[in-house]
Amino acid sequence: MKKIIPCLFSLLLFSTACKKENTSETNADKNIGKSQKTEFHADNIKDKILYQRAVDAAIWGIPAVNFQLMYKELEKINGSYNQIVYWPGLLNWKNQTLTPNPDVIYLMPFFNTEKGPVVLEIPPADNGVFNGSVMNCWQAAIEDVGPGGMDKGKGGKYIILPPGYDKAKIPSGYFVMQSDTYRGYALLRSVLKSGSPIDVKAAVEYSKRVKLYPYSEASNIPETIFVDATKTIYDSSIKYDESFYASLNEIVQEEPFLERDRAMIDPLRTIGISRGKSFAPDAKTKEIFKAAVNEARDWLISNYEGNKPFYEGTNWFFPADEENIKSVKSSYQIKEIYPIDNRAVCYMIAFFSAKHIGESQYYLMAIKDKDGNVLNGNTSYRVTVPANVPVKQYWSMTVYNRETHTFIREAKWAGRSSQTPGIKKNSDGAVTLYFGPKPPAEGESNWIPTDPKGDFEILARFYGPTKELYDQSWKLNDIEKVN
């Protein structure tokens, strides 16, 4: 198998492959070129179809692979299902999950209901508050928890049922969550009252009030096991090589096919993934896998870069499209749509999905500056956030490595928010933030460092968004290059 510099695959061979012209290089091409992409030339129809179906499998399977990689990192620090991995403090770069939030306390209860239902107890929003969701292993939200969820801030016992479980067996007093997979997780974010050390400590203490245990032990509740992930690098970034398919195979072996996904059974069998059978690709197949998963990534980046602007004429966008939002809210029950492309784009750059996307929190991303140029870590930029940001809780901006969609390694910090101690406001109440390899002359208080060796992206978060954000009577300015 011949390795060459990054280039385009033959349009004549693969119907799902390239969407680019041979005469120009897109930003997606440049980004993909950073990974060790291998051109694949098929020798026969079997190899052609293997390649094509491996591309499709990667696009379809990326949410589950994303989940599997996060769980495997928990195993590496001696954690397991029906335990909670958490970060008892604000996140730093050692959390290498996809686009995490550095301004809240993170807890991730992983559950397995193969032996029966599992209970997740959420405390009331008294001296703390949770913003979060419970998801299956495809990261499709079952329901939200906390003030924006089923308990409406009063707290309560959520019972997660395995596929096919009789709900009638559950007594009153529980919020029932019917999962269509055995495995899954919740993302719980303990929201700070401010960024002060005292309020950070209070948010951590509030988070430890969560309980997770088997329903079979509800009469004698065992102590919840919390696994501290701060002492190691928790790296669940997606690897675009043959290992992607090994992770996908693990999911297929562990979980039954959902009805909506039965059409993938034969395509997966074509690439060697079949329930109850071993997965042992040979060297040639691994080379094809490596080429295929990078072609899938190329396609997703092309979609990512083509997102519709949130504000007309700007470069801010919301990653999830309308069909994706509808699908998550309906638990994928709308038969006329199944947005695996946009779903894959979202899970290429992030993990987690709220049931009611964009309601308790809203997100805007920027990967280009005002002039339409890719954000480069060796260049300095700024953005002025107008006063009276339409939020009930807080707003923030966070920088991520464009290549991996994770925090920049070794970065001093990853973001700034309205709760950051010492952040400076302009005379009119607006806040000017700076991005670049070195702090501006104004100092470090409003500066977010970038990696001069790579490109970056910015995620703006709005917690407790109000109507002025949605009706765009308040507008976020574009990122500007600093001359």
Distance CA 97, CA 93 (A): 9
Token digits of residue 39: 């051109």
What is the pLDDT at residue 38?
A: 64
* Pick from 200, 31, 224: nearest CA to 103: 200
**Cα(310)–Cα(317) distance, integer angstroms:** 5
- pLDDT digit string, tens, across residues 95-106: 999 999 999 999
pLDDT tens-digit readout, 65-90: 999 999 999 999 999 999 999 999 99
CATH class for the domain made up of 322-481: mainly beta
Task: Name the superfamily (CATH) of residues 78-231.
Answer: Domain of unknown function DUF1254 (2.60.40.1610)
18-28 pLDDT tens trace = 333 333 344 44
Phi, psi angles (nearest 5°) of residue 26: -85, 170
Sign of the C-alpha dihedral computed for residues 365, 369, 372 and 378 taken in this order: negative
Domain 27-67+238-305 CATH assignment equals 1.10.260.40: no
CA 199 from chain centre, in angstroms, equals 26
> Rg of the chain's alpha carbons, rounded to an integer?
23
Q: Could you tell me whether strands 234-235 and 141-145 are parallel, antiparallel, or unpaired per DSSP bridges?
A: unpaired
Domain ranges for the chain? 27-67+238-305, 78-231, 322-481
Q: How far apart are CA 295 and CA 317, in angstroms?
A: 24
Contact yes or no for 223/137 (Cβ under 8 A):
no
pLDDT in single tens digits along all 483 residues of the chain: 333 333 333 333 333 333 333 333 444 444 444 445 667 777 899 999 999 999 999 999 999 999 999 999 999 999 999 999 999 999 999 999 999 999 999 999 999 999 999 999 999 999 999 999 999 999 999 999 999 999 999 999 999 999 999 998 999 999 999 999 999 999 999 999 999 999 999 999 999 999 999 999 999 999 999 999 999 999 999 999 999 999 999 999 999 999 999 999 999 999 999 999 999 999 999 999 999 999 999 999 999 999 999 999 999 999 999 999 999 999 999 999 999 999 999 999 999 999 988 788 999 999 999 999 999 999 999 999 999 999 999 999 999 999 999 999 999 999 999 999 999 999 999 999 999 999 999 999 999 999 999 999 999 999 999 999 999 999 999 999 997
Where does residue 222 rank: exposed (0-12), middle (13-18), buried (19+ CB within 10 A)?
Answer: exposed
